[in-house]
Amino acid sequence: MKKTIAILLFTLVFQAVIGQSCNTKNVAVLQGSYIPMYNDTSNVEIDVEQFNMDVTAVTNQQYLAFVKANPQWQKSKVKRLFAEASYLSHWQNDTLLGPNVLPDAPVVFVSWFAAKAYSHWCGRALPTVDQWEYAARADHDHPNGNSEAFKNKLLRLYESKHHNHQTAVGKGEENYWGLQDMHGLIWEWNLDFNSVLISGESRKDGSLDRNLFCAGGSLGSVDPVNYAAFLRYAFRGSLKAHYCLKGLGFRTVNQ
């Protein structure tokens, strides 16, 4: 019993310290369930436990603190296995953002390994696809934003050509949970980003992702007109864990 309390106490103190160093503002996303856009056994609701998610994506400033404390994640020192050559390529050097990088903009050009390491350093984790999708489907007033207007707005945000990774986080409207910039600013890493779409060719028989490639007319997908979701799933499917892309960053959740 004593031991348990000690561990609890330690954890609390530890998290407080960590929380400060990561400077994360986060909110609770309450327990619920959702039907993923598509799956092989359609219309099965996935339960999502309550979790706690960063209000915004991790910024350059925040990530800079991480690489200063963890030199092995600086861009000249990182192992190629964990991050390809474009890792932090927009930064001036290992510990300097440089004049072209806005400190409050989301950090991009980070690999899944790097995002995971950062989350771990903060005592947190990357959101799973289920957590992310569940949190992201909320519009301003509902946990489940299902209106045509909302879907069209999202599609508009996604299809707009321009990357917005040079924009400071926290400018977007808060959704039902109080989360900002879930759509339209950047793509975000998920812990299990490749669990749905394993390979690129997804029209092959018997695979989970067959439905995805039939897109607009997909009978297997729950909502075949949710093109914004299709775009997200397809994008995730094209990734490998060491990729570092211009429009791809992350936010964290509690462990």
Using rule CB under 8 A, residue 241 touches another protein = no
Q: Which stretch binds another protein (CB under 8 A): 39-47, 48-56, 173-181, 211-219?
A: 211-219
Q: By C-alpha distance, which of 126, 102, 96 is closest to 114?
A: 126
- Tokens for 144? 């489940």
- Single residue of 35, 102, 125, 214 touching another protein by CB under 8 A: 214
Which residues, 6 or more positions from 242, have their beta carbon under 8 angstroms from its beta carbon? 80, 81, 82, 83, 84, 111, 112, 113
Q: Count the residues of the shown chain that bind another protein, applying the rule CB under 8 A.
A: 35
Residue number with CB closer to another protein (27 or 102): 102
Question: CA neighbours within 13 Å on the CB side: how many for 37?
Answer: 27
Residue number with CB closer to another protein (45 or 201): 201
Shortest reach from residue 35's CB to another protein, in Å = 18
Using rule CB under 8 A, residue 90 touches another protein = no
Using rule CB under 8 A, residue 238 touches another protein = yes
Site for another protein in 27-46 (CB under 8 A): none
Q: Which stretch binds another protein (CB under 8 A): 7-15, 58-66, 94-102, 243-251?
A: 243-251
Element (H, E) at 117: helix 112-121
- Tokens for 47? 């339960």
Rounded CA-CA distance 48/29 in Å is 9
x-marked contacts with another protein along 127-166 as a string, rule CB under 8 A? -------------------------x--xx-xxxx-x---
Which residues, 6 or more positions from 128, have their beta carbon under 8 angstroms from its beta carbon? 190, 191, 192
Site for another protein in 189-208 (CB under 8 A): 199-204
Which residues, 6 or more positions from 198, have their beta carbon under 8 angstroms from its beta carbon? 207, 208, 209, 237
Q: Which stretch binds another protein (CB under 8 A): 22-30, 52-60, 129-137, 238-246?
A: 238-246
